[in-house]
C-alpha cells in the first residue's frame, strides 16, 4: 500500500523549505507540503514553484460540507486539512501527517519503515481512554450525530505526527458528513475505535503500544496537562531536538519562536505563571490559601 507524507504548515519560509528537503531526502515516500495559507502570518505569499504544495484556506474547508466540522481550522478541526487533501487525491493511500514543529532524531525513513507492516488504521501518540485523563478540557465538545458519546467510548490522541489508513479516511469522512463534531484529538480516535478499526500507539508506555515499541520512538507524561517531561510534549517549545537518538521531538520551533509560541526561558516563565494562576483560581473557589511552593 502506497504512503504519502504530508508536512503540515501555516508558513512557507526557508525553515519549512529545509524541513521539506530533509523529509524528501529521507522518507522513502512522496512528501507534500500541506499548507494552511489562511493562517500564514505573511498574507499573499507566493507559492514556491519548486516544491509540491497543497494549499487551502477556510473557504476550502467549509466546502467540505460537514455540518459541524471544518469551521475552526486553527484549533479543533485540523484533521479536516487531511480529509481535504484525501478528497482531492483519490485514492490517497496511507497518509502520514507531520506537523512542521516535529523533529526526529534519525532518518525519517527509519521511523516510517518501522510501521510499514503494521495494519493499524490510526498510528498516533499518547492514545488513552477517558478514564486515564477525565479532566481533559476537550472532552466536552465531542458530539455524535444524536448527542453526547458515552464516556467509556471516548479516546484521545496527541496528533502532531500520525498515520491514517484509507479505511480510516473513509470512516472519518462519513462520520463528519453525518454530523460528528469536537476536537480532532478526541473525535479521530473515538470515531475510528467505534467503527471497529485498529488503533496503535507509536511508542510511549500506554496500553495501545505494540510489543517491542514501549518508549521506543518517544517519551512523555500522559497524566500531565502539557505532557511534559518527555521528548514529545504539548509544551514547552524548544529550538532544537534533544540528543537522544531515534526519538520524535515536539514542539521544535524556529529560533525566536513561531506563531506566538515562545521558546526557552520565556516559555518556562510563562508556564510557571499559568500554573500559579490556576492555583490561585482554585484557591478562590475552595477558600483555601494556595501553596506557592507546590
Residue 285 falls within a domain, yes or no?
no
At 42-76, the pLDDT tens digits run 878 999 999 999 999 999 999 999 999 988 656 78
Question: φ, ψ for residue 201 (rounded to 5)?
Answer: -90, 135
Segments forming the whole domain that contains residue 226: 3-264
CATH assignment of the domain containing 104 = 3.90.550
Q: Establish if 280 belongs to a structural domain.
A: no
In this predicted structure, what is the pLDDT of residue 117? 97
Residue 161 lies in a domain: yes
- Rounded Cα distance between 54 and 227, Å, is 31
- The whole-model pTM stands at 0.87
How far from each other are the two terminal CA atoms of the chain, in whole angstroms? 51
Q: Does some domain include residue 288? A: no
The rounded Cα 55 to chain-centroid distance in angstroms is 19
Q: Would you say residue 277 lies in a domain?
A: no
Per-residue burial over 49-83, b = 16 or more CB atoms within 10 Å of its CB, e = otherwise: eebebeebebebbeebebeebbebbeebbbbbbbb
Residues 6+ apart with CB under 8 A from 135: none
- Give the per-residue pLDDT at 1: 64
pLDDT, position 273: 53
Nearest-5° angle of CA 16, CA 18, CA 23? Answer: 95
pLDDT at 3: 98
Asked if residue 278 is part of any domain, the answer here is no
**pLDDT at position 149, please?**
86
Residue 71: per-residue pLDDT: 80
> What is the model's pLDDT at position 7?
98
Positions of the chain with pLDDT under 50: 258-265, 267-268, 270-271, 274-275, 278, 285-286, 288-294
Number of domains in the chain: 1
Residue 139: inside a domain = yes
pLDDT, the chain, mean: 89
Q: Is residue 102 part of a domain?
A: yes
Amino acid at each position: 500500500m502506497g504512503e504519502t507524507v504530508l508536512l503540515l504548515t501555516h508558513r512557507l519560509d526557508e525553515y519549512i523549505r529545509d524541513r521539506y528537503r530533509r523529509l524528501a531526502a529521507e522518507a522513502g515516500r512522496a512528501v507534500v507540503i500541506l499548507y494552511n495559507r489562511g493562517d500564514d502570518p505573511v498574507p499573499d505569499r507566493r507559492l514556491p514553484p519548486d516544491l509540491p504544495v497543497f494549499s487551502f484556506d477556510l473557504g476550502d474547508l467549509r466546502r467540505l460540507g460537514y455540518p459541524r466540522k471544518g469551521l475552526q481550522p486553527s484549533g479543533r478541526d485540523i484533521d479536516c486539512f487531511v480529509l481535504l487533501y484525501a478528497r482531492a487525491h483519490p485514492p490517497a493511500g496511507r497518509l502520514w501527517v507531520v506537523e512542521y514543529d516535529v523533529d526526529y532524531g534519525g532518518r525519517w525513513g527509519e521511523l516510517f519503515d518501522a510501521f510499514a507492516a503494521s495494519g493499524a488504521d490510526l498510528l498516533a501518540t499518547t492514545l488513552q481512554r477517558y478514564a486515564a485523563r477525565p479532566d481533559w478540557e476537550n472532552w466536552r465538545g465531542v458530539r455524535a450525530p444524536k448527542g453526547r458519546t458515552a464516556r467509556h467510548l471516548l479516546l484521545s490522541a496527541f496528533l502532531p505526527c500520525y498515520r491514517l489508513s484509507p479505511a480510516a479516511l473513509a470512516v472519518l469522512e462519513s462520520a463528519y458528513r453525518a454530523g460528528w463534531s469536537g476536537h480532532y484529538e478526541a473525535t479521530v480516535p473515538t470515531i475510528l475505535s467505534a467503527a471497529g478499526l485498529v488503533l496503535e500507539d507509536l511508542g510511549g508506555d500506554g496500553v495501545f503500544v505494540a510489543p517491542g515499541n514501549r518508549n521506543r520512538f518517544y517519551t512523555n507524561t500522559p497524566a500531565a496537562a502539557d505532557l511534559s517531561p518527555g521528548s514529545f510534549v504539548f509544551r514547552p517549545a524548544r529550538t532544537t531536538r534533544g540528543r537522544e537518538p531515534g526519538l520524535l521531538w515536539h514542539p521544535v520551533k524556529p529560533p525566536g519562536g513561531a506563531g506566538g509560541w515562545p521558546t526557552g526561558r520565556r516559555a518556562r516563565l510563562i508556564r510557571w505563571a499559568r500554573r500559579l494562576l490556576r492555583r490561585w483560581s482554585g484557591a478562590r473557589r475552595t477558600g483555601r490559601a494556595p501553596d506557592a511552593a507546590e
